[in-house]
Structure 1
Amino acid sequence: MWPMNAESTAEQPLADRGSNRSQRPSSAEFLRFITSGWGGRPESTVTRGPAADATARRRSEISGRFPGERLVVPAGTFKVRSNDTDYRFRPHSAFAHLTGLGAEQEPDAVLVLHPVEDGSGDDGSGHEAVLYIRPLAGRDTEEFFSDSRYGEFWVGARPTLEEIETLTGVRTAHIDDLRDALAKDVGEDGVQLRIVPDVDEAIEAVVEDIRAAEQAGARDEVLAEALSELRLVKDAHEVEQMRRAVATTIEGFEKIVRALPDAIAHQRGERVIEGTFVGHARQEGNAVGYETIAAAGEHATTLHWIDNDGHVREGELVLVDAGVEIDSLYTADITRTLPVDGTFTEVQRRVYQAVLDAADAAFAAAVPGARFRDVHAAAMKVIAERLSEWGLLPVSAQESLLPENQHHRRWMVHGTSHHLGLDVHDCAQARAELYLDGVLEPGMVFTIEPGLYFKSDDLLVPQEYRGIGVRIEDDVLVTAHGNENLSAALPREPAAVEAWMKKLRNG
């Protein structure tokens, strides 16, 4: 039955109705009392961050691509999860790359590269960087105690302008100053505006308003593309972050092996595996870099199985695709396919070895001067040859590899590699000529991850193969003389995997 005051309730905007559950005090006496009697804040201990020098070089490089233009790089804002609660905040990767701010820093912030006379900007570039942020509010403000999204009483103290400036090495200003700063000298014959699109709708709307009034439009996609391509080759700081992410991920895989007895005993054993890794990622890093795949038995033949609600049975394989995102937001991406009881069957080993051989061929191709697509081609050659040896192809391996055929791809429909870094699929907005057709250079980091997937109802394979899914994925760094497997400390050879699992279970 509708309440008697239904008409008056209906007049309240939907956006305001989340406050209907609130019983926060609002009397004048309460306001006087809660904003008084606070001691001084502790002296700041913030120091210059380890990424500050590297981010300055990155900003200088992007400055050179857009002389005379004002570049707007938002961090993004909160996303609502359910009514008035939010998902955990993660800044946009381009913002993190240019500022060094990671973890949950800094919602609603905007990095702006303001054009200046050539050579008079930061580090001699054509731009001055300014970070516009929402700083710590005073304890005499209502925000301090009443704002559940930003208030110190609710989410803790935010950093001050001075602290962010010290940490990043970038000049800071209050977010309230942003609109005027963006509009300065903008016009048809003046400064042109570009913004990274699809990050912060509110900031994008501000930019569009200024453009409409001043005829200062520019293609935003070109900025997003350039920022993505800037990450194709990692600098020394980024490589170090990748090493940390990989090492922390390997520790998580060790915990998974130790948790397998509990997974076997649980009706949703895949969740035990997932929960073990996710807990590790939160303890030792920021989060997981993507949704963990814990796919046992037949589920391993579904490429992105993230339901993780199935049984984990002895005698079967479990495919675990997982990566820790460390506090700087760099993530690993590693897959291992493990025998649940610690020992491969003869057929499992046969399939596993074929995938491993394909991975090794891809590693051999991942050298400076080769093209990115060559890595995939090397893996596919091995996959096609092995499937032909097993009698599964209707044509020869050579014929299957022809672009007009591709029969072998029935059992591996995905690609072999993708760039890796701040995003699990990093540099995704780069142009094809620099990505798929790009020439490999020292400093590039990407995955090598061939697989074979035989679904349980696939009538074109013998019964003994059905229900087996295998993927082996490692993270590779291109070096001056070849490559380095960053995840080599995690065993790959089948005998080494078995010995590793035995040691962890008995240790």
Structure 2
Amino acid sequence: MATNTETRVSSSAATGGADAPAEGSHPETSAAQANGSQAHGDAPEPRATSNRSTTPGSEGFKEYIGSGWAPRDDALPAAREQAPYAATRRQKLSSMYPGKRLIVPAGSLKQRSNDTDYPFRAHAAFAWLTGWGSDSEPGSVLVLEPTGDGHEATLYFRERAGRDSDEFYANPEIGEFWIGPRPSLAQVAADLALATRGIAEVDDVVAAADADTLIVREADAALTREVDERRQGAAPDDQLARDLSELRLVKDDYEIGQLRLAVEATARGFDDIIASMANITQHERGERVVEGVFNARARADGNAVGYDTIAASGPHACILHWTRNDGPVVPGDLILIDAGVEAESYYTADITRMLPVGGRFTETQFLVYEAVREAADAAFAIVKPGIRFRDVHATAMEVIAKRTAEWGLLPVTAEQALEADNQHHRRYMVHGTSHHLGLDVHDCAQARREMYLDGVVEAGMVFTIEPGLYFQPDDLTVPEKFRGIGVRIEDDVLVTADGAERLSGDIPRTAEDVEAWMARLA
């Protein structure tokens, strides 16, 4: 269960480790840029920091720094593995929107503080349609221009500046002195097997926007405002967002392969946590140490974490989206770790495991844990093409109702609790059992209910199964021995032609296997 607060579109660049931009730059235009009034073809001005800049602005300096460089390596790469898959996806979208101009922005840099930004992450629809992942260029825009027999796809982005330009050395947001080498139009065109143009030319696309122009609205607010002004109102953009979500419900072979890689890296991250448990328990904020250990693996083996890691020890496990992670990890408690590595392609795992901090489950912890595992196993057992997605949740809830009734926690029978007008057992599990997984941790979220919750399961779908039981420390409806215990078990599941595969099945799941896992690595 990933937290819902993950940043969709964030950014890269300045880290505050050096003076930013050169004297002679134009910080007074930064306010216009922040308000979205700057033309796309203009180089973005760095934030107003000239009051502390020490970069020389003399002509002698400019001439000297712009000379004496070795030739660039302009070799064209072979098309990346996902390029043909992205082309097929664009063709599917094109067939749904004949005669419509489609604009899919990557998104822009998002300010974290003053002149620092969040790590950039392109919008999922943009990544899906282009094949660009963690190397996406901020501010890029994919345009599908209608033609007589479909669409012509063009990727607009800001090409690298020449070394004779002050952008090269003086702009900490896009200058290569600051953020490293950037690609040329030709290199990206070869890499993605996609036509490219400079970002300045996207202004012509915006100028031509009309009632037949649609845009992915949430990706770039400033660009969306410009398009709205041109077409004098919003077109059915929500339908475009919906269709892009629904097209991603069934994964292609490339996507499934990337999800496998993400799960494998996540398994290594869990191993790292167990191996570090002695250090974790000695720190007063051991949950932070758990988070740091896993994040190190995510950065080493992938792009980042797919969402904020939940490291919830003891009663914190009863807080569904506990991401503060500032508590101790105490032997005798359980720690709930909900974490996923995001691959360079942006595909993410989402896995939860419960670890008994001292290496062994207590009798009560074991009882609750095995009830949750029973619910997860029952839900997994019914997964195959043709069932309704909501049946996965319903099956898990039958077990949760049965066990909580057996323990005397419900004022009614399990059968009565399961009635739509009752649902007493949901006091102890208020969240859903499954969500789709892919480029977004909660993937395909804008799909219609009839395609998602009430949809028919198909081969190639990937989703989580994550039942839980949460007994709050102050819940007087449960015996004292249960209070403060929270358990969730989450696996990533691929629907196959005749059933399902647990992509995360190699990560220990039974109580006995978890104890053996901890003994082996600790």
Per the normalisation by structure 2, the TM-score is 0.90
Listed as ranges, the matches of 1:202-213 within 5 Å are 202-212=222-232
2:37 counterpart residue number: none
2:55 to 6, 21, 24: 24
**Displacement after TM superposition at 1:25 (Å):** 1.1
Is this contact kept in 2: 1:88–1:104, CA < 8 A? no
Q: Secondary structure at the match of 1:173?
A: strand
Q: Secondary structure at the match of 1:464?
A: coil
1:130 counterpart residue number: 154
1:370 counterpart residue number: 387
1:144 to 150, 157, 168: 168
1:193 counterpart residue number: 213
Is this contact kept in 1: 2:153–2:194, CA < 8 A? yes
Is this contact kept in 1: 2:216–2:240, CA < 8 A? yes
Q: Deviations over 1:451-498 (max 9, x none)?
A: 001111111111111111100000001111010000000011111111
Matched to 2:214, the amino acid is R
- What is the alpha-carbon distance in structure 2 between the residues aligned to residue 127 and residue 423 of structure 1? 26
Percent of aligned positions with the same letter in both sequences?
Answer: 57
**Displacement after TM superposition at 1:180 (Å):** 1.1
Q: Deviations over 1:392-440 (max 9, x none)?
A: 0000001111111111000000000000000000000000000010000
1:35 to 66, 69, 82: 66
**Displacement after TM superposition at 1:14 (Å):** 8.3
2:128 counterpart residue number: 97
**Displacement after TM superposition at 1:202 (Å):** 2.5
Is this contact kept in 1: 2:76–2:191, CA < 8 A? no
Distance of aligned partners of 1:14 and 1:66 in 2 relative to their CA distance in 1, 3 Å threshold: closer
- What is the alpha-carbon distance in structure 2 between the residues aligned to residue 35 and residue 43 of structure 1? 18
Is this contact kept in 1: 2:334–2:355, CA < 8 A? yes
**Displacement after TM superposition at 1:206 (Å):** 2.7
**Displacement after TM superposition at 1:218 (Å):** 2.0
Matched to 1:97, the amino acid is W
**Displacement after TM superposition at 1:195 (Å):** 0.2
1:256 and 2:273 correspond: yes
**Displacement after TM superposition at 1:157 (Å):** 1.7
**Displacement after TM superposition at 1:177 (Å):** 0.5
Matched to 2:272, the amino acid is K
2:428 counterpart residue number: 411
- CA RMSD in angstroms, aligned pairs only: 1.5
| Count of aligned positions | 481
- What is the alpha-carbon distance in structure 2 between the residues aligned to residue 202 and residue 412 of structure 1? 40
Listed as ranges, the matches of 1:393-412 within 5 Å are 393-412=410-429
- What is the alpha-carbon distance in structure 2 between the residues aligned to residue 270 and residue 205 of structure 1? 42
- What is the alpha-carbon distance in structure 1 between the residues aligned to residue 306 and residue 217 of structure 2? 22
- What is the alpha-carbon distance in structure 2 between the residues aligned to residue 282 and residue 13 of structure 1? 35
1:449 counterpart residue number: 466
- What is the alpha-carbon distance in structure 1 between the residues aligned to residue 67 and residue 389 of structure 2? 62
- What is the alpha-carbon distance in structure 2 between the residues aligned to residue 46 and residue 253 of structure 1? 36
2:91 to 56, 60, 63: 60
**Displacement after TM superposition at 1:156 (Å):** 1.1
Q: Deviations over 1:258-295 (max 9, x none)?
A: 11111111111111111000011011100000000001
Q: Deviations over 1:214-245 (max 9, x none)?
A: x8x52111111111111100011111111111
- What is the alpha-carbon distance in structure 2 between the residues aligned to residue 81 and residue 23 of structure 1? 24
Q: Secondary structure at the match of 2:276?
A: helix
Listed as ranges, the matches of 1:336-415 within 5 Å are 336-415=353-432
- What is the alpha-carbon distance in structure 2 between the residues aligned to residue 187 and residue 411 of structure 1? 51
1:309 to 313, 320, 326: 326
1:435 to 452, 458, 465: 452
Structure 2 unmatched ranges of 5 or more = 1-26, 32-46
Q: Secondary structure at the match of 1:295?
A: strand
Matched to 1:445, the amino acid is V
1:3 counterpart residue number: none
Q: Secondary structure at the match of 2:224?
A: helix
Q: Secondary structure at the match of 2:219?
A: coil
Q: Kindly indicate whether structure 1 or structure 2 has the higher relative contact order, using CA contacts under 8 Å at least 6 residues apart.
A: 2
1:267 counterpart residue number: 284
Is this contact kept in 2: 1:371–1:439, CA < 8 A? yes
Is this contact kept in 1: 2:74–2:187, CA < 8 A? no
- What is the alpha-carbon distance in structure 1 between the residues aligned to residue 513 and residue 368 of structure 2? 16
Q: Secondary structure at the match of 1:198?
A: helix
- What is the alpha-carbon distance in structure 2 between the residues aligned to residue 312 and residue 187 of structure 1? 58
2:256 to 233, 239, 252: 239
- What is the alpha-carbon distance in structure 2 between the residues aligned to residue 388 and residue 487 of structure 1? 30
**Displacement after TM superposition at 1:52 (Å):** 0.5
Give the stretch that moved more between structures: 421-430 or 150-159. 150-159
